[in-house]
Amino acid sequence: ERSLNIDFLLGYLTALLPRRRELKLIITSATIDSVKFQEHFEHALHAPVPVIEVSGRTYPVQIVYEPLGTAPALMRSVPGFETGAMPGEQAYAELSAAPTASEREGRGRERETPIDMPTAVARACAELVIHSSHAAGPRDILVFASGERDIHEFEAALRHHYGPRAADMRRPDAIEIVPLFARLSAKEQHRVFEAHTHQRIIIATNVAETSLTVPGIRYVVDPGTARISRYSKTAKVQRLPIEPISQASADQRSGRCGRVADGIAIRLYSREDYETRPRFTEPEILRTSLGAVVLHMLSVGVARTAEDVTTFGFIDPPDMKAVSDGFNELVELKAIARRQGGVMLTHIGRQLARIPIDVRLGRMVIEAARSTTPNTLAAVLVVAAFLSLQDPRERPEENRDEADRIHNRYADPSSDFLTALNIWDRVFQADGNPSNSALRRICKTEYFSWLRMRQWKDLVTQLTEMCREFKFKVGEPIPISRPDLKIRQLPINQQAAHALCCSWDAQGIHTSMLAGLLSMMGMQVLREPKASDFAGLKGAAKARAMKRAQKMAKNDYQGARGTRFALFPASSVAKSTPPWVMSTELVETSRLWARYSAAIDPAWAEPLAGNLTRTTYAEPHWSGSRGSAVASAKVLLYGLPIVQDRTVQWGRINPPEARDFLIRQGLVEGDIQQRFQHDAFVQRNLEVLEEAAEDASRTRQLAGTVSDEDLFDFYNARIPNDVTSVADLGKWWKTAYDDDPHLLDFDPEKVERLADTESVSLADYPDQWHTLGTDGTPIDLKLSYVYDPQAQDDGVTVH
């Protein structure tokens, strides 16, 4: 009841009521903290606020506490229990193996082994079934479960316990076990409302606590837990941990068996546990991402900064960290721009505030509208509507395998989003827009929910009309190609062998969607399992364990900010495990799972991310072939390397250092492989250096000759600071040459450092030694000079 929208609306009314005295606000609820609401509005209005309590038409409910591992409390009050004369007691005794407190004391603590939850649920139901046999007749039982997996486990435990009684509905003592959860077909969900003659055990999720009233319930079994959606401020993901419910939720659950007559509720936890739990369930605003709330507050003008949000009239104000995360999400979506002293909505943000779907999905729609292909926007609208509603695919319990085979025909191995488009094309486009009766026939044979398919189409229509109000060009979600028509005309059992996948503009669709999922990307992390990990196993068991570990090793992804997740097993992408994926949501249950995913090219993210990226560079080096200093760049988005080993010109990153590379390694060392106009000075200056090096070897006086540093200083004094590459040098020199053709001609005699050095005559170091042979004939011997004290030929050598 304390949903995000309700809390925002109440906060808005808090500011409005003092200015609108004629406006009356009435809040009705069975579970809210009335004292907190009263104090909040009295503080805002500076006037008394009445609280009116109206008792409902309920009957007394007996609360029985049976923590796991304790003796059954309810059975002690049933007549005949001690004598063993009660129907079904022998089967019940098998479930009551947990020792009593006195037995545990006598046998020692090491023997304490509490029963598991499915067994405890089955035992509690057995108690209630036996209890009802001593009452006015069979009475229905409602069992609460945390999720679909728990429902299946509880159902299996109950069917195992009751055996033929749960399998044969023709028996007079039959017990009908009815699961109730969202993924069931509409027909299966409606079973709970149908008239019945046998005793019924209904196993349901939290939907039966407040949203749905199951008729005829006289008993309740409450394990005391539920999956609570909770936003992790550290990992920036939505978690679905199983947590103890609040006292208000526990009271709401037990009240379900007091609607028509007196009831009994068995709580599978202790009274002390109940009394230490929070009185009320934490409101959604304190455990979810606040991006949408912040956007609406900015759009209606009630906030400009994070402080404005925290001081807004929320009954339970969110903390600053959660609000900052909401602002950061909007920055990622380019919905806001930071300004000194606050933020302002961008054009994208103003459009986003008007789109009635999740802000990330809305961002996809806006990005798709920029596509040059109108069909891309139409396809993204279909996917966004699909992701906004419950999955229309149904898996009836009795036909689960057949439903999976039918649905797998539409599965695109690279994308769950293209899978949704394949379903849409098959139902609404491939054979024309179906009538209601035709749609019902298709949904029945294809295991789709007719109601959800209608909701899907209605939302697509609504979003399409909204886009046209924005002047977006909306085409039709037409695939590039469709499967052969003959396949769809085959009988269903033969169609299952053929894929019904269309060919779509995958890059255009996924790039548009990526604009809303920049922080939901993942990079595959490959880690081969080690044989030592399975040292304790042998034979077939070891082979199976290694195979399972290898499969799990491929399904391991590094996400934004160092998170690690895996593709959800039901995803069509889970089998292919591509190197890079994006997902619409990361949900933590037994581990962090990515639901609804697609393979992507990480390079698509760079132009969408803008200032969100961070670039790192390896050490720069000179490239003679490129004529510039270069470096290897890595582009990071939330810690993920979306671009690796990109060669970039260093002149764009560090111009002074790039210019230094050009002069020192390009001009002074002569590592230039490109030619440019009037470039003869380069070779001439290098020849000057070579001659100077030879003279230094002759005279053994390096200080008296020019060096590489002299030539570097020469160029450094003449070449402009903005010349960082050979291409830049050629452009500048083309103009500078016309003004002074000798500007870059190096003259050693003009080097200031040598002006005061004592000159040395090279005539004293000849190239040849003139002498006479033994017979008096003149001989010219070649002389070579080396200046290297460590070398054997150091000095002058006569040849």
Any idea what the CATH number is for the domain that residue 72 is in?
Answer: 3.40.50.300
Residue 167: pLDDT above 60? yes
Helix axes 148-162, 117-133, angle to 10 degrees: 50
Per residue in 259-307, pLDDT tens?
Answer: 888 899 999 999 999 999 999 888 888 888 899 999 999 998 888 898 9
Asked if 208 and 329 sit in the same domain, the reply is no
188 assigned to some structural domain: yes
Asked if 517 and 660 sit in the same domain, the reply is no
539 assigned to some structural domain: no
How far apart CA 478 and CA 475 sit, in angstroms, is: 8
What percentage of the chain reaches a pLDDT higher than 90? 50
Residue 105: pLDDT above 60? no
Joined together, the tokens standing for residue 386 give 């699909």
438 assigned to some structural domain: yes
Residue 429: pLDDT above 60? yes
Last residue of a domain, one of 283, 303, 318: 283
Per residue in 733-765, pLDDT tens?
Answer: 999 999 999 999 988 776 655 444 455 665 666
Backbone angles phi, psi at 19, to 5 degrees: -95, -10
559 assigned to some structural domain: yes
More confident residue, 104 or 670: 670
How far apart CA 238 and CA 592 sit, in angstroms, is: 9
Asked if 30 and 152 sit in the same domain, the reply is no
Residue 455: pLDDT above 70? yes
Asked if 32 and 73 sit in the same domain, the reply is no
465 assigned to some structural domain: yes
Q: Which domain holds residue 324?
A: 4-54+289-352
613 assigned to some structural domain: no
633 assigned to some structural domain: no
Asked if 40 and 173 sit in the same domain, the reply is no
Helices (H), 134-270: 148-162, 164-167, 186-189, 247-254
Asked if 413 and 435 sit in the same domain, the reply is yes
How far apart CA 12 and CA 368 sit, in angstroms, is: 33
708 assigned to some structural domain: yes
Asked if 425 and 569 sit in the same domain, the reply is yes
Asked if 585 and 677 sit in the same domain, the reply is no
How far apart CA 598 and CA 414 sit, in angstroms, is: 6
pLDDT at 579: 95
Q: What is the dihedral of CA 577, 582, 585, 587, to 10 degrees?
A: 40
Joined together, the tokens standing for residue 463 give 């979003």
Q: Give the total residue count for the chain.
A: 799
Asked if 423 and 492 sit in the same domain, the reply is yes
Q: How many CB atoms lie within 10 A of CB 541?
A: 11
Last residue of a domain, one of 232, 260, 283: 283
Residue 95: pLDDT above 80? no
Last residue of a domain, one of 265, 283, 301: 283
For residue 228, give every residue at least 6 positions away whose Cβ sits within 8 Å of its Cβ, in sequence order, or none: 240, 241, 242, 243, 281, 282, 287
Asked if 72 and 86 sit in the same domain, the reply is yes
> pLDDT confidence of 535, banded at 50, 70, 90?
low
Residue 411: pLDDT above 50? yes
Asked if 142 and 279 sit in the same domain, the reply is yes
Burial of 153 (0-12, 13-18, 19+ CB in 10 A): middle
For residue 374, give every residue at least 6 positions away whose Cβ sits within 8 Å of its Cβ, in sequence order, or none: 473, 474, 475
Per residue in 297-338, pLDDT tens?
Answer: 999 888 889 899 999 999 999 989 999 999 999 999 999 998
Asked if 452 and 387 sit in the same domain, the reply is yes
Residue 685: pLDDT above 50? yes
Instruction: Find the distance separating the first CA and the last CA of the chain, reported in whole Å.
Output: 104
How far apart CA 360 and CA 381 sit, in angstroms, is: 13
Q: How many structural domains are present in the chain?
A: 5
